[in-house]
Every structure is written in structure tokens, then in C-alpha cells.
Structure 1
Amino acid sequence: MKLIPLLFLFFILAGNASAQISDAFNRDLEKNRVIKPEKSIRICGPSRAGIIANSPLYVVNDIEDFNLIGFSAIDPKDIESMNVFKYAEVKDKYGDKAKNGVIAIKLKKNVKLLTLDKLLGKLKKRDRNLPIYINSEKLINRDGIYLSQAKIESVKVAEKSSDKIKEERYINILLKP
């Protein structure tokens, strides 16, 4: 039951629909030729750029500005509840950050979220500023990163480049599938 809102959210974020008039409806059957309509009709859904630029505020366990990378590292089984709020309902609590709505997620009590600083705390100080890759994807913005401790497989400093990562030294965070 908890997966339904997550799937709905996924389809909203990933959806890009478009439709056009087919030639079959604009054909002169007697002369077997296409009739050019006076105006073409094109129906489009919102673009991905518009959805990303106008994304809602994600709040996980009362942590505002939860980064979507950390969000993708949450196991759906760890979600206790998820609520979607319109701006009018939460503008007093979150202000203008919530102008595109709020998706509030409450995790089960046994789920522990680690900040990036806490996660990298065991590394040498000189290594903490290296580029970070999470499952071979470069982390651009370090702000608002929280990862579920149960999903972290390893955190290592890599000393040489790989097939996917061309940097000589970097922090490699692997998450469990």
C-alpha cells in the first residue's frame, strides 16, 4: 500500500507525454492523399525540466531540503508513512520553500539516517574533500545528503580510475541494491 504513492510520484517525475494528429485521420480517401490541416494540434504534458525546476520540498523525518540522491537510497520497506501537501496547507510551517507543495515522509523508528559528514568521518581529513561518487554517479551538491545506514555497502577512497570514473582519487560510496 505504501508503494502506491511512491510509484505515483515516480510517474509524475518521469512522465513526458505528447500526442499528435495521425495522418490516418487527415486523408482524402478518393484521391489517396494527406490533407494538410489548417492548424496542427499538439498536446504536451509538462517537460522534465519544468518538473525538476518546480519540484516539491521533500521532508524526510522532519529534515527539510532532503536531497533526491538520498531519497533514492531509501528502501520503500523503511517508509512508515508518506503525505503530500499543497502549499496552502504548509505555507506557515515551511514558507516559500513549499510553494510547489511538500512531500513528507516518515521512516520507521529503526531506520538510521547518516549525514555525509558523519559518513565520511572515519576518513582522513585530507581525503574528505575528494570528489564523491555514489554507485558510480558523481555527487555534485553535498548539501542535504542523508543516507540510510542499512543501504550503505561500503565507503572507500579509490586510488585509481575505473571504467566509469576517470578521476585518479575519489570517494566511492556503494549502496546495496
Structure 2
Amino acid sequence: MVLFTCTAEAQFLRDRASPPTEMRPLLLTRSFAIKSAEEPLLLLGSQETDYSSLLVNPKEIAIIKIYKDSAILAPLGHKAKNGVIAIELKNKKTLLKLTDVLDYFQVPEPHRQLRVLVNKHPVNSERFLADIKRIEKVEVIGQDKENPFGLSWDANEQFLNIVTVQPE
């Protein structure tokens, strides 16, 4: 995770608790956590995913092979720069892509254009795969304006948040 901080300084603003003659600078700070693409690419059969975009019980994942050799990874291009891990599920089950999950939860068309989060953390919607039993609900949320870590520079941006079932 990479953290970016933007600090804007507004000169000569007066704190209400200060006397009217005392002026001092006011610093406004907002931080944004941006997930770096340092995760390896996961290959589940012919489907590409990553750990944050794969909603299955971690105990169900079996690692088949780890690829690090650049000659083998070259055909996959930039997306394999952090390696590739071939995985399979210990218990075979159907995993749904994002559009199928949105259909299942009957998400209206206008909301399908929003950026996708899982438990309020950004994910790669193109690599999203999920066991439907791991999802409690899909909701539209805005940014938490009180949280110093933002998801967007637009304070009014809305997101499609997928809430997972709490582990047992």
C-alpha cells in the first residue's frame, strides 16, 4: 500500500479560540491510500485474479506452482512483473465474475459504473472472482469524510462496496 499526502496551506487564517489580532497559518491535510500493484498475478485455471480481488476462504486455496522466471512470464507482459502463482481450489466450486455478482444482488445499471470496493478497500474489478456464499451484501457508499485516508480526491464520489460474510 502506498500512501500519498497532500497538504495545502492557507496563510493568515485566524483560529476562533485565538484573539482577533493573532493570525497564524492553517494547514489542511488529506491522505490517500492507493494500493500498489505489487501482488503477484494468480492464475486459477485460465482466469486471472489477485489476492485482494479473490473472495474465497483462504484455506480453500492450493498453490500449484510459483513462477518467477522472466522468460516464462514474458508472454503475460506487465501484469506478471511481480510473478505468477498458479492456484486451484481444494473444493471445486463455481466462482462468479463481478457482473454475475451484481446480477445476483440485482444492482441497478447506474450503480454498476461505480468503482468497486470490498469491505471498503479498492479491488481490480476486471480480476474479481467470488464465491457467492462469501458475500453478505452489495451497497453504495460515499467516502468517510472523517477518515484522513481517502479513496478519491472527489469527496462526493460514490463507490460500490461488496461486504463479505464475517469469518466463522
Structural mapping, 1:27-66, within 5 Å: 55-64=39-48, 66=49
Matched, 1:152 2:135: yes
Q: Residue in 2 aligned with 1:87? A: 69
CA-atom RMSD, angstroms? 3.4
**Aligned length, in residue pairs:** 122
Matched letter for residue 135 of structure 1: N
Structural mapping, 1:7-156, within 5 Å: 55-64=39-48, 66-71=49-54, 73-87=55-69, 90-91=72-73, 94-96=75-77, 98=80, 100-121=82-103, 122-139=106-123, 141-156=124-139
SS in 2 for 1:123: coil
**Cα distance change, pair 137–83 in 1 and its aligned pair in 2 (3 A):** same
Q: Residue in 1 aligned with 2:18? A: none
C-alpha separation in 2, matches of 1:148 and 1:80: 16
- Scaled by the length of structure 2, the TM-score of the pair is 0.54
Aligned residues of 2:73 and 2:84 also touching (Cα < 8 A): no
C-alpha separation in 1, matches of 2:121 and 2:70: 36
C-alpha separation in 2, matches of 1:136 and 1:55: 19
Aligned residues of 1:111 and 1:150 also touching (Cα < 8 A): no
Cα deviations by residue, 1:18-65 (Å, 9 ceiling, x for unpaired): xxxxxxxxxxxxxxxxxxxxxxxxxxxxxxxxxx6665432123313x
Matched letter for residue 117 of structure 2: Y
Which structure has greater helix proportion?
A: 1
C-alpha separation in 2, matches of 1:99 and 1:138: 20
Structure 2 residues not aligned, in runs of 5+: 1-35
- Scaled by the length of structure 1, the TM-score of the pair is 0.52
Which structure has greater strand proportion?
A: 2
**Cα distance change, pair 171–87 in 1 and its aligned pair in 2 (3 A):** same
**Cα distance change, pair 142–54 in 1 and its aligned pair in 2 (3 A):** closer
Q: Residue in 1 aligned with 2:12? A: none
Aligned residues of 1:60 and 1:105 also touching (Cα < 8 A): yes
Matched letter for residue 85 of structure 1: Y
Aligned residues of 1:151 and 1:175 also touching (Cα < 8 A): yes
C-alpha separation in 1, matches of 2:132 and 2:63: 19
Matched, 1:176 2:165: yes
Structure with the bigger RCO (C-alpha within 8 Å, sep 6+) is: 2
Aligned residues of 1:87 and 1:100 also touching (Cα < 8 A): no
SS in 2 for 1:143: helix
